Amino acid sequence: MTRARGADRRASIVRAAFEVIAERGYRGTSLAAVADRVGLTQQGLMHYFPTKEDLLTAVLETRDEWDLLHFGHAESSMTVNQLADLVDYNATRPGIVQTYTVLSADSVTEDHPARGYFHDRYERVRAGMTQMLERHRDELPPGTTPEQLAPIAIAVLDGLQLQWLLDRSEVDMSAGFRTFLTLLGIKPD
């Protein structure tokens, strides 16, 4: 198989995984179910993604690429309004949010296959968030800096997702994130 065909096949598997996650959630998504969807044997799929964690990490990487295309061309150039829109959009795809929440938390354990991915992703996202807040430096509360606030803003996003997944009738991620922006002195459109 040529390298290009291999990349196409990987992309089809990841697309199938998105569909299965959307329909069945994190726990219902098995390598067997995704293989079935894409017309491969489980053995054939495991040639591309040896474990469920490998496949789901590829799903999250692909989500990051799509989100950046739709909501900002690079993490460092995303605006606060684009980020608020992204939170609204996440509220329409609980399966993906669930996958992110479970996999990012599992990655904190020793030798987890996705640990490197999440370590680097958070480093990158904190840098992007710092640059976003830098453009609002004059609005931020006195004595606070973009560097200080970036990990807190990311914590708010992650933590609200967790509470929302456990009780969607009680917790509103979009409203919560907008309230947090007002604490920073930033008014989204």
Instruction: Count the neighbouring beta carbons within 10 Å of the beta carbon of residue 14.
Output: 21
C-alpha–C-alpha distance, residues 54 and 13, integer Å? 12
Q: Does 165 bind a second copy (CB under 8 A)?
A: yes
- Single-letter code of the amino acid located at 143: G
Q: Does 176 bind a second copy (CB under 8 A)?
A: yes
Q: Which 127-146 residues touch a second copy, going by CB under 8 A?
A: 141, 143-144
Handedness of CA 14, 172, 89, 85 (dihedral sign): negative
Binding mask 13-52 for a second copy (x = CB under 8 A): ------------xxxx------------------------
Nearer to a second copy (CB atom), residue 54 or residue 106 = 106
Q: Does 112 bind a second copy (CB under 8 A)?
A: yes
Q: Does 104 bind a second copy (CB under 8 A)?
A: yes
Nearer to a second copy (CB atom), residue 24 or residue 70 = 24
Interacting residue ranges for a second copy, rule: CB under 8 A: 25-28, 98, 101-102, 104-112, 115, 118-119, 122-123, 126, 141, 143-144, 148-149, 151-152, 154-160, 162-163, 165-167, 170-171, 175-176, 179-180, 182-184
